[in-house]
Structure 1
Amino acid sequence: MTTPARVTLTLVKGRLEPAEYVYDERTTCVLGRSSDCSPRLPSDEHHRTVSRHHCLLDINPPDVRIRDFGSLNGTYVNGKMIGRRAEGLAPSEAAEDSYPEHDLVDGDEIRLGSTVFRVGITLGSTPGPVARHCAKCGRDLGKAADGRAGAVLCASCQAEPAAVLKLLLELAAGGRADLASISGYEVIRELGRGGMGAVYLARHEATGREVALKVMLPKVAASSTSRARFLREMALTRALRHPNVVPLLDTGFADGTFYLTTEYCTDGSLDRLLSRSAGGRLPADEALRITLQALDGLEHAHGQGVVHRDLSPSNILLHRTAGGAGAGAGNEVSTAKVADFGLAKAFDQAGLSGLTRTGAVAGKPTYSARQQVIDFRNASPGVDLWALAACLYQMLTGTVPRDFPREKDPWYVVLREAAVPIREREAGVPRALAAVIDEALDERPGRGFASAAELREALTQAGPTP
């Protein structure tokens, strides 16, 4: 019988409702006095030193890590302060410093002001042997073994996704049933890589069919439960069929590695297009065309209950086909298609990505809406609209909506900083279009757009003309 791992915060001092917070899946939460925090601390004389957004909990049961945002009076774990800004510094100035993090264990106590929580960690149980050796090379995982059941790759193998894929293709050629969907493919070249793995152009030797073949490498052992959860979520994505969605063809798992195949988009990604463009920008009419097509893809997915949650220029792909709307005879048009729908969510919520909101390797959340940090588990379609508006902003200005100073905590920036009005970046952006983009990036309650259809209508009416 499978029982889930669990992280519990139990109130041992203070007055809060509820007095217990239970987390049994991957999430983040922010503690502080702001109305959007959970747990939310009271604004009274006992919590004057608690900031509005005081500290971040990165939770991937049974693992949990705490990070202070540079609060005035610090965050205390078992009576020891783990973060505090220097006297005389404003919160925005203090955030430019680097603050320590702390991995929490069962029984630790967290104090903010006069409120104290006790951390409870339940390891849970999952069928299968505990991962002790690398699923590819057999190396002893040593201290890297996390005690979870399942299969995982060592750090050295995770750093070489091409070698991992080569072995999978060799095993597929040898007749492995769990690799049947990629049997007969050969790798042509790498298309890109990120924190979860890498993607390659692959061609089927017999049919000549070309696909994008992605390998995803879990940071923790992939148990039978987490594998089933990931593949079940991806089945929802596989059902998406729309001209502006990159179709997912096959998914599978073997030897500590998830793999999937999708349609190969001939013109690459939007971020590659921007890197080749003057100033990293596109003409307003081209930027708007790409955005409107991506919105059509988002509207379809949202209608099926699928939220992307990781939208950026790297997964807006361009595919060139003959003919098409507005094309003359023999002409070709490039169509924008959204890729990787639900992929990051499925991988993260299955607990396969480790702790990603903290640590030196946590990338800048450039296209993340505030909601994704405050309420990661329940992110709504609105986070995709914010991210797409951020992509349009970049296409028009060559930069992203928020300023991310080099030494500033990126998650604190997302929580506290508003997008810079687009015409402050680029005065040549048409006023009507700028007004729509600024509205789409406004994260105050009641602002922004409620749906992809609503944003598309506003952008269409604004148009690219001054």
Structure 2
Amino acid sequence: MTLIVTRGPLDGRTFEFAERTSCVLGRAADCQPRLPDDDDHRKVSRHHCLIDINPPDARIRDFGSLNGTYLNGKRIGQREPGQTPEQGAAASFPEHDLRDGDEIRLGDTVLRVDVKRDERPARLDRTKVVPRCVHCGADVGGEIGGREGEYVCAECRNSPDELVRDLLGGAVGGVRYTIEKVLGEGGMGRVYLARNVATGQAVALKMMLPGVAADPDARAQFMREISVTQGLDHPNIARLHEAGSHGGVFFFTSEYCAGGSLADRVARGRLGVDEAVPLILQALDGLEHAHGQGVVHRDLTPHNILLAADGTVKVADFGLAKAFDQAGLSGLTRTGTAAGKPYFMPYQQVVNFRHARPAVDVWALAACLYHLLTRDYPRDFAGGKDPWQVVLQTQAVPIRQRNPDVPRPLAEVLDAALVDRPQIGFPTAADLRRALVVRGL
């Protein structure tokens, strides 16, 4: 997807996006694309609007700008006269899908959306064949937006247990499993406790439903990305076993962690330092190993830091969000759902999602420790303010303001770890681990 400036001082300038990202348009130095901070662009706010991109799909949302964002001549967001930027940011503006040929206007600058799909031989004549759900046969042409490939309709998506029974009927990776219970549900699907019929081994089976039709190329791309994470071998990383797709459903099986997640643990009450810090130290060990193999998690939260039956920490879901994104299967979720809110994301990941580096995982893990000790997020997300604006405009609250019982040496480490501008406080997992060992215990 390319944004082409067709009117304004930057006429002819192009901004190209070939992979999953979220970007902020405006005059501020951290915006990408950034419009000049000069007299010609005074009608453009510093943080004007957010575009969520998963080529060829994209959505746009105004950020409470002074002069409004316009899509094809229609205003889609603008703060009220007399409101401050902070008050405007607290308003909720709807997201709008972007299509090929759409025009976006910010002040006097107009950008045209140009979407180019891969040149591939035609597989389906849609004038003759109606795209249908692979499970019930319902017409899904309006749901998939012209995509080709297998798709599960909205009604079947509401019956995940039936889908997993169909999946098991086709065998998972050539292995037969039985389902024992539901372990949890998230933005991409449902997780089950399953058991290998032949060996009796318990595993976690996650079923993921693509937000768009899944063609053979998307499935192959998903498996290429997953193969990288299957190579991770560390006692503090949940082992990924089988992965694949069947009947429009993507799946993987991984090591089962009977102790639940850190989210389950903190839901019962905040943890003491003597319990929380050793847990995070183990997670940092797993993180360091993954980063050494070139794998960045990009979605670390207490929900995917798990506990084995013996209490060993297991970081889970390495690379899964990226695999789904890179294959173009996830639809657009980061800005549109609760799972996509940046409670554990640093500033760098919001302004440049596609270039996420290992340091963003280190920041996220420090945010997890903060959460264990306070049962709160590092930033204040209260008051209905757009959470992405919160990340852009605010810093982490010093932890002793949340919990005065946190020892000062540990507080100093965490406060330093949660700095994210101009750069993240601790760039590597080893750096944060060393600081916690020296001053946090």
Question: Normalised by the size of structure 1, how large is the TM-score?
Answer: 0.90
Change (3 A) 1:124 1:206: closer
**How far apart are 1:363 and its partner, in Å?**
4.2
Aligned-partner residue type, residue 411 of structure 2: A
CA deviation digits over 1:90-118, x for unaligned, max 9? 11111221213322222222222222211
Aligned-partner residue type, residue 437 of structure 2: T
Does 1:285 pair with 2:274?
A: yes
Distance 2:249 2:264 in 1: 27
Equivalent residues in 2 for 1:68-147, closer than 5 Å: 68-126=62-120, 128-129=123-124, 132-147=131-146
Instruction: Determine if contact 1:65/1:104 at 8 Å carries over to the other structure.
Output: yes
Q: 1:380 aligns with which of 331, 353, 357?
A: 357
Equivalent residues in 2 for 1:254-273, closer than 5 Å: 254-273=246-265
Q: Name 1:163's counterpart in structure 2.
A: 162
Change (3 A) 1:27 1:72: same
Does 1:54 pair with 2:48?
A: yes
Instruction: Determine if contact 1:389/1:440 at 8 Å carries over to the other structure.
Output: yes
Equivalent residues in 2 for 1:12-411, closer than 5 Å: 12-16=6-10, 19-126=13-120, 128-129=123-124, 132-172=131-171, 179-183=172-176, 185-276=177-268, 280-321=269-310, 334-359=311-336, 363-411=340-388
Distance 1:171 1:349 in 2: 26
Aligned-partner residue type, residue 205 of structure 1: V
CA deviation digits over 1:284-315, x for unaligned, max 9? 01100000000000000000000000111111
**How far apart are 1:221 and its partner, in Å?**
0.6
Aligned-partner residue type, residue 291 of structure 1: I
**How far apart are 1:342 and its partner, in Å?**
0.6
Instruction: Determine if contact 1:188/1:200 at 8 Å carries over to the other structure.
Output: yes
Distance 2:340 2:228 in 1: 27
CA deviation digits over 1:143-167, x for unaligned, max 9? 2132111111111222222221111
Aligned-partner residue type, residue 286 of structure 2: G
Aligned-partner residue type, residue 193 of structure 1: E
CA deviation digits over 1:204-248, x for unaligned, max 9? 233211111111110101111211111111100000000100110
Structure 1 gaps, min length 5: 1-6, 173-178, 322-333
Aligned-partner residue type, residue 79 of structure 1: G
Distance 2:251 2:412 in 1: 42
Aligned-partner residue type, residue 311 of structure 1: L
Distance 2:43 2:373 in 1: 41
Q: 1:456 aligns with which of 421, 433, 437?
A: 433
Instruction: Determine if contact 2:173/2:242 at 8 Å carries over to the other structure.
Output: no
Distance 1:122 1:355 in 2: 18
Distance 1:361 1:294 in 2: 24
Distance 2:418 2:85 in 1: 23
Instruction: Determine if contact 1:8/1:22 at 8 Å carries over to the other structure.
Output: yes
Instruction: Determine if contact 1:36/1:374 at 8 Å carries over to the other structure.
Output: yes
CA deviation digits over 1:125-178, x for unaligned, max 9? 556447811122221114213211111111122222222111111232xxxxxx
**How far apart are 1:399 and its partner, in Å?**
0.9
Moved more, 46-55 or 192-201: 46-55
Q: Name 1:326's counterpart in structure 2.
A: none
SS in 2 for 1:253: strand
CA deviation digits over 1:330-377, x for unaligned, max 9? xxxx11110000111111222111112333666432111222221111
CA deviation digits over 1:224-273, x for unaligned, max 9? 12111111111000000001001101111111111111111121111111
Distance 1:264 1:139 in 2: 35
Distance 1:21 1:267 in 2: 46
Distance 2:406 2:173 in 1: 51
Aligned-partner residue type, residue 364 of structure 1: K
Question: Normalised by the size of structure 2, how large is the TM-score?
Answer: 0.95
**How far apart are 1:78 and its partner, in Å?**
2.7
SS in 1 for 2:234: coil
CA RMSD of aligned residues (A): 1.8
Distance 1:390 1:182 in 2: 38
Instruction: Determine if contact 1:126/1:223 at 8 Å carries over to the other structure.
Output: no
Moved more, 411-420 or 238-247: 411-420
Aligned-partner residue type, residue 273 of structure 1: R
Change (3 A) 1:149 1:37: same
Distance 1:406 1:230 in 2: 38
Percent sequence identity is 58
Distance 1:361 1:74 in 2: 25
Change (3 A) 1:417 1:182: farther
Instruction: Determine if contact 2:70/2:105 at 8 Å carries over to the other structure.
Output: yes
Instruction: Determine if contact 2:241/2:255 at 8 Å carries over to the other structure.
Output: yes
CA deviation digits over 1:370-411, x for unaligned, max 9? 222211111001111111111100111111111112522122
